[in-house]
Chains A and B, each alone.
Chain A
Amino acid sequence: MLPELSHAEIMRYSRHLLIPEVSLEGQRKLKAASVLLVGTGGLGSPVALYLAAAGIGRIGIVDYDVVDESNLQRQVIHGSSQVGQLKVDSARQRMLDVNPHIQVETYNEAFTSENAMRIARGYDLIIDGTDNFPTRYLVNDVCVLLGIPNVYGSIFRFEGQVSVFDARRGPCYRCLFPEPPPPGMVPSCAEGGVLGILPGTVGTLQATEAIKLILGIGQPLIGKLLLYDALDLSFQYVKLRKNPKCKICGPNPEVTELIDYEAFCGVPGHDHDESSAGVGWDIEPQDLAERLSHGIPVHLIDVREPNEAEISHIPGAELIPLGQLPERMAALNSADDVVLFCRSGSRSTRALQLLVSAGFRKVKNLRGGINAWVREVDPTQPVY
């Protein structure tokens, strides 16, 4: 039995009710539906706003983070006055302001193997608005095990990917990507950046797919991957097929329950800004400042991109973007004391690993990157 709509709801949804493909019955389906949104960041913001506005009866939102100033360039559900608030609280407040007729459940926790089934059970579908590989594999496996669709969206700089993974009717995320890339090979948005409006486009497409699935109209993106490039505004579709060797949705599945996704991907399950790798190879900003002030020779290497070096810099540093390091390594002297730095320490950790595996031993990683340097040594420059 679908729920009835009140007069106030009928007035609110009149533009939906006018569409024959939606009409009263469709709007009642939306009211009866429950959608779990994992992540209330760049992708999650437009998804949450549009699902709320559309009248999805029950929306669950999962996020462990608080609103940060640097989120506001793209996470449009949050505002300046919410900086420091829990993202789930900030999002819920905004969603209920958009539409007080809906129910918003908040889960202020990281989505993990331990809590995922408890959280997800009872929802009709999940929208993947996460920002890291471990949680994407987790969302996929939860959806396959529960037999519900996974509305997938992913972004990088100017480019987005969208699909609907429904293992009952087509491939799952693991069919497409059986294994994650090695840690560090594909930069995150925190490292590589993202055009703020990009998750707006991609998240809106995810919300569209979710609403189509609930209404049972149109052609869902099952068995297709949409590749969107904002630079030439191109939308390209490629065909996806079920992988007969898929470890979770194939005929002989190896994965029959949730696993340790951080171990599977070799990285933490959230978008760490600070580097925790390379312990023992780190140098503190204050220690570096002291060495420089005493005139101790240090070969400082900035592994960021040239556009970042325009924002902040350490005097005397040589700019060698991480991508160029393998070919320029031969010009470095392994007898020199080398200190590597980037924005926050992730890329310089990879640079350090490259140099160490090439035989460099007198090499250090500036802990926390130039942002830590600016905070602790040179506050005249901006943190970004």
Chain B
Amino acid sequence: MATLRLSTPLRPYVEGKAELTLDGDTVADTMRSLTEQYPTLRAHLFNSQGELRPFVHLFINNEDIRHLQGLDTPVHPEDRLMLVPSIAGG
């Protein structure tokens, strides 16, 4: 099971948790497992075409999935995923 870390603005949608463990062989699988568990998160991460929204980044082992194979990027149990939306406070 891979570990997912969520940035603060997304935590209210996952009962305040900072980290979760997720099943899945690809990023798409892990995200499906995540949004099935926490349906209100889906609209914050994906548009109606199922694409990751442009103000949210998903990193796998510190690499942006957009620079790998996107949602088809393979996930291994020891991988660390991180969801990072843009924030603007100052």
Which residues on B sit within 8 Å (CB–CB) of A181? 53, 55, 85-86
Which chain B residue has the least Cβ–Cβ distance from A44? B90
Instruction: Give the interface residue-count category, chain A.
Output: 35 or more
Which chain A residue has the least Cβ–Cβ distance from B84? A227
The size of the chain B interface, using a CB distance under 8 A, is 26
Interface centre among A185, A187, A192, A237, by most chain B C-beta atoms within 10 angstroms, is: A185
A199 interface contact, C-beta 8 A: yes
Could you say which of B7, B59, B84, B90 contacts A199, with CB atoms under 8 Å apart?
Answer: B90
Taken residue by residue from 142 to 185, chain A's Cβ proximity to chain B (1 for < 8 Å, 0 otherwise) reads as 00000000000111111101000000000000001111110001
B85 touches A186 (CB 8 A): yes
Which residues on A sit within 8 Å (CB–CB) of B85? 181, 186
How far, in Å, is A262 (CB) from chain B's closest CB? 13
How far, in Å, is A167 (CB) from chain B's closest CB? 18
Could you say which of A133, A157, A231 contacts B86, with CB atoms under 8 Å apart?
Answer: A133
B54 touches A159 (CB 8 A): no
Q: Between A and B, how many residue pairs show CB distances below 8 Å?
A: 99
Stretch at the interface among A97-105, A124-132, A292-300: A124-132
| Bound form: Cα–Cα A154–B85 in Å | 11
A236 touches B62 (CB 8 A): yes
In residues 1-26 of chain B, which contact A (Cβ within 8 Å)? 5, 7-9, 12-13, 18
Which chain A residue has the least Cβ–Cβ distance from B62? A238
Which chain B residue has the least Cβ–Cβ distance from A305? B12
Q: Main SS of the interface on chain B?
A: mixed
Which residues on B sit within 8 Å (CB–CB) of A188? 88-89
A39 interface contact, C-beta 8 A: yes
How far, in Å, is A251 (CB) from chain B's closest CB? 17
Which residues on B sit within 8 Å (CB–CB) of A153? 90
Could you say which of A154, A227, A236 contacts B89, with CB atoms under 8 Å apart?
Answer: A154
A239 interface contact, C-beta 8 A: yes
A241 touches B62 (CB 8 A): no
How far, in Å, is B66 (CB) from chain A's closest CB? 8
A84 interface contact, C-beta 8 A: no
B62 touches A159 (CB 8 A): no
| Bound form: Cα–Cα A189–B89 in Å | 5
Could you say which of A129, A132, A179 contacts B54, with CB atoms under 8 Å apart?
Answer: A179
Could you say which of B13, B44, B87 contacts A159, with CB atoms under 8 Å apart?
Answer: B87
- Which residues from chain A sit less than 8 Å from chain B, CB to CB? 39, 41-44, 128-133, 136, 153-159, 161, 176-181, 185-189, 192, 194, 199, 225, 227, 229, 231-232, 236-241, 323, 326-327
- Which residues from chain B sit less than 8 Å from chain A, CB to CB? 5, 7-9, 12-13, 18, 40, 44, 53-55, 57, 59, 62-64, 67, 82, 84-90
Sample 11 A-B pairs with CB under 8 A, ordered by A number.
A41-B90, A130-B90, A132-B88, A136-B88, A155-B87, A156-B89, A176-B57, A186-B9, A189-B90, A236-B62, A241-B64
